[in-house]
Structure 1
Amino acid sequence: MAAQTPQTAPVHLLLALSGGVDSIVLLHALAQFSSRLPYTLSAMHIHHGLSPHADEWLSLCERVCQQLGIAFYSANVHVNLQSGQGIEATAREARYQALDQMRQQLDAQAIVTAHHMQDQSETLLLQLMRGAGVKGLSAMGDWDAERKLFRPLLQVSKADILQQATALQYQWVEDESNTDISYDRNFMRQTVMPVMRERYPQLDSALARSASHMAEAQSLLDTLAGQDIAACDVREEWLGQSVDIQRLRQLGDARAKNMLRYWFQQLDLRMPNTEQLQNYWQQLSTVKPHRYLHLPLQGQAVKRQAYLHHYQQRLYCVGKPAALPKTPLVWQGGKSQIWGDWQVQFKVSKGRGIALARLGVHPAAITLNKRYGQAITLAQGLELMLFARAGGESLQPDAKRPRRELKVIFQMLAIPPWQRAFYPVVNVIATQPSHSQTLVSLASLAIDAAWRPGRNAYGLEISLQPLPNHA
């Protein structure tokens, strides 16, 4: 009997369905092709609430999908009109966030959008007006791997789309805001492009070629940046990466800034504008070897922040997690606990961490914990608690040396300054025979000598990681 080849699940596409003629034509086309090609199709409408007709658009999208037998989803999003980014950019960001959340829920491989040739032309000219570089002038590609966006109509003209919709008597909606030329794209579409097309009939195809040339150039720049970042000794760090700043400087201004742009993109950070990047590079290229420097960056996700840090001849690009909670965490004897926006891991290890024997833990309890994950119970009257540092604390990691302030221990262990606030102090609280509080460790970074286990004894190692949505 021949072995059977395992069946792979068909590709799942999620169409961004606005209800306008472009996405309606694409919906019908994809629905028709899905009977002949191996993919599953779903559609999603984003209700921005910005138009008095928004409910009607939602109803039309749902009705057409029902007629075609296409799974339909919708989401209401809030558009922050005070974001400072402009209503177009803010609405677009809210829309793509909602679409990507649904894509992940459905385990879809791509979000499909109905951008066409004229959209491409407008995008390139708008980017040119903003002084964009090669990446911006690449406009839109058929496939955006980073954001999982598929744009199959980029080579199709608006006229062809309208002709198809009219001939087949499709229903669609017209967004009344499309005539408002106070929006940059509408001004370009309604005022500038018609005049240019009258003089240059092949305008859209010519701009599409230019965007394609720019995309090729950007690909070469990315390849060079990838080689440069590897040559700069890139290393994985806590919440980010670091590179050798001396090697970065040796690249020269243009290649160094190209590498920084590529690096930020790889770490899912928003690209600084030209002025910001030039300012950052000016500081980084002149900073003294022993001077600490930090510069803010903005993440793609809402409220996510990151920083560039210069420390000991390396340039770090790392996220900024939420602060440790002010309320202490009491260990419940398990392997993991949530503490504010952090996950705290407790690991029983031989010869490392805080001595469990000093906490009155019986060897049998350690065996049950390691074999079956059973919670560990401390001796009666003892508690193990984690606190955010208050300042001025000290430990004695080496019994042959005096106690040292934690800030000195951080310096001795070369812990970068921005990480130091995220190492909690661990205290043992005793209530019998009298109340006392003893500082026993700085997480598992430094253990007081009096609380360190012997080589063959068991201890408790403590480590923290920010929860995924708070890194």
Structure 2
Amino acid sequence: MTSLETQLSGFLAGLSNPDANTPHLLLALSGGVDSMVMLHLLAELCQRLPFRLSAMHVNHGLSPNADAWLQQCEHRCQTYNVPFFADKVRVDLQSGQGLEATAREARYHALEQQRQQIGADAIVTAHHLQDQSETLMLQLVRGAGVKGLSAMAAWDGARRLYRPLLSVPKAALLQFATAHHLQWVEDESNADTVYDRNFMRHAVMPVLRERYPQVDQSLLRTAGHMADAQSLLDVLASQDLAQCDLQAEWLGQSIAMSKLYALGDVRAKNLLRHWFQQLQLRMPNQDQLQEYWQQLSSVKPNRYLHLPLQGQASHQSAYLHHYQQRLYCVTKPSALPQTPLVWQGQASQQWGEWQVQFKVVKARGIALARLGVSPAAITLNRRYGQPLVLAEGTSLKLMPRAGGESLQPDAKRPRRELKVLFQMLGIPPWQRAFYPLVQVATTHPGASETLVSLAGLAVDAAWQPGRNAYGLEISLTPSPSLL
């Protein structure tokens, strides 16, 4: 067994858990020498150790040779009898983050989607010692903090990423590939020093290595020291977060502003970084974080503040909201469709990028009797899931609010505009657009439409079921891809 196989065997042994299922790993396979060596090693070890292996190639479409690379990766996986997946992603060249960062984001997003789809436990990459030292140097010249100078972690729990070769020199991978007659692709863009990493790799690091032969090992140790320091900062932030009355919210969390202020500037900003990371949001740079904190520090207790978090992934929007002396950090789903959703009697229906659930419950929701649903039909639905059928000429539909609507949820109190109901119920302003109206339309004896409910929040008193009667409860959730 080679030294590389020995190192990987030790890494894989740490994955095994007698009480858990066999680990399933998804290898990020670019087709370059590093990932091809990793494919060979894992395919060999898969025959002797208890884990499953799949591989995925992400085609960025940036090179005229991209399709050929994909085919080579697929052919090699067929040779090893490793399940192979591929995805062609679109790199947003107008993102403002630069080609390297945008392509990397698109690649990891595609890998994570595939990991979830096949139920893999983690994504494995073939990053090596020189990759690690280049990453640390790039972070250093960009003025990164402790977290950035930690470079890459061998295990990134938040993103479920394994990098078992971070202490292995590139030369060892090349030597292994040559000795085993492996084939790989060469990305022509790797020689273009217009890209920061290539400039660091070809123009800066060779000079440093000539003067300081052990610089890669030294930088690896530095990254380790920074990772230890970051662990201590994370422990402190976690303790501070717990002391700030952390609460789960719709699509996010909230904390008490008074307790955040009491921490002081440095600890408060450390908490915010940690909080964003826990919510799997992209870390702000120093200027962005300082701007967020400056606005939060100056907001008055009774004022509403809305702060979009900059630089998030293209598929995700996130916001900070100050409301009623609490700070909310939430993601924002897509708007409700303008086209109404007509209920078909089913338990679940898709409405644009939203999933709408219709549940038959006792003494809550919209009275089924008023919709013309018979007791027999309710029994068949509850026992066998049979779709409900409304009275002839009656339909129930959902639509977004237009403004000015009113309800009377309490028969002993007057009708109130929905904006007043939102305030009375303490619904934060940014959530209000995601509560659709529920209307009942009839054609007999005459055509009419009646507002009967604000989905998931309130039902007009005239449409509420009795204590022993059944009603229809409606709730909405964004599609999983939006969370």
Assess, with a 3 A threshold, how the Cα gap between structure 1 residues 90 and 435 changes in structure 2: closer, same or farther: same
Contact 1:268 1:299 in 2 (8 A): no
Deviation at 1:314, TM superposition (A): 0.9
Q: Report deviation, 1:300.
A: 5.6
Partner of 2:12: none
Separation of aligned partners in 1, 2:78 and 2:350: 44
Q: Tell me the amino acid that sits aligned with residue 166 of structure 1.
A: T
In 1, Cα distance between the equivalents of 2:386 and 2:218?
Answer: 69
Deviation string 1:414-455 (CA, Å, 9 cap, x unpaired) is 111111111112222221111222222222422222222222
2:139 counterpart of 1:163: no
Aligned to 2:11: none
The Cα shift of 1:82 comes to 2.6
Tell me the distance in 1 between the aligned counterparts of 2:112 and 2:44. Answer: 24
* Greater shift in the superposed pair: 29-38 or 189-198: 29-38
Separation in structure 1 between the aligned mates of residue 139 and residue 223 of structure 2, nearest angstrom: 11
Aligned 8 A contact 1:269 1:298 in 2: no
User: Quick check: 1:25–1:165 contact (8 Å CA) kept in 2?
Assistant: yes
C-alpha spacing 1:372/1:181, structure 2 compared with 1 (3 Å): same
SS at 1:220 equivalent: helix
1:253, CA displacement in angstroms?
A: 0.9
For 2:9, the equivalent position in structure 1 comes to: none
In structure 2, C-alpha distance between the alignment counterparts of 1:441 and 1:457, rounded to whole Å: 17
Offset of 1:66 from its aligned partner?
4.1
Equivalent residue runs for 1:164-203 within 5 Å: 164-203=176-215
Secondary structure of residue in 1 paired with 2:427:
coil
Q: Secondary structure at the match of 1:386?
A: strand
Structure 1 residue 411 and structure 2 residue 423: aligned? yes
Q: Which residue number in structure 2 is paired with residue 331 of structure 1?
A: 343
Matched, 1:456 2:458: no
Distance 1:351 1:32, change over 3 A: closer
Say whether 1:465 aligns with 2:477.
yes
Quick check: 1:79–1:91 contact (8 Å CA) kept in 2?
A: yes
Q: Corresponding residue for 2:307?
A: 295
How far is 1:329 from its partner?
1.9
Residue by residue over 1:223-257, the C-alpha shift from the partner in whole angstroms, topping out at 9 and shown as x without a partner, is: 11111111111111111111111111111111111
Secondary structure of the 1:124 match is helix
Cα 1:164–1:453 change in 2 (3 A) is closer
Distance 2:80 2:372 in 1: 68
Corresponding residue SS for 1:44: strand
Q: 1:45 aligns with which of 57, 60, 66?
A: 57
Partner of 2:318: 306
Aligned-pair CA distance for 1:123: 0.2
Matched, 1:116 2:128: yes
Structure 2 regions of 5+ residues with no counterpart? 1-17
Deviation at 1:351, TM superposition (A): 2.1
| Alignment match, 1:10 | 22
Does the CA-based 8 Å contact 1:269-1:299 persist in structure 2?
no
Equivalent of 1:353 in 365, 369, 386: 365
One-letter amino acid of the structure 2 residue matched with residue 357 of structure 1:
A
Letter of the 2:107 partner, please give it.
R
| 310-319 vs 107-116, which moves further | 107-116
Question: How many residue pairs align between the two structures?
Answer: 467
Alpha-carbon separation, structure 1, partners of 2:71 and 2:299 = 59
Query: Which segment drifts farther, 243-252 or 32-41?
Result: 32-41
TM-score (ref. length: structure 1): 0.93
Q: In terms of mean alpha carbon deviation, does 220-229 or 329-338 score higher?
A: 329-338
**Superposed CA offset, 1:186-238 (max 9, x none):** 11111111111121111111100000001111111111111111111111111
Residue type at the aligned position of 1:49: G
**Structure-2 separation of matches of 1:428 and 1:67:** 61
Distance 1:434 1:135, change over 3 A: same
- What letter corresponds to residue 462 of structure 1 in structure 2? I
Superposed CA RMSD: 2.2
Distance 1:461 1:124, change over 3 A: same
Given candidates 134, 140, 143, the residue that maps to 2:155 is 143
1:102 aligned to 2:144? Answer: no
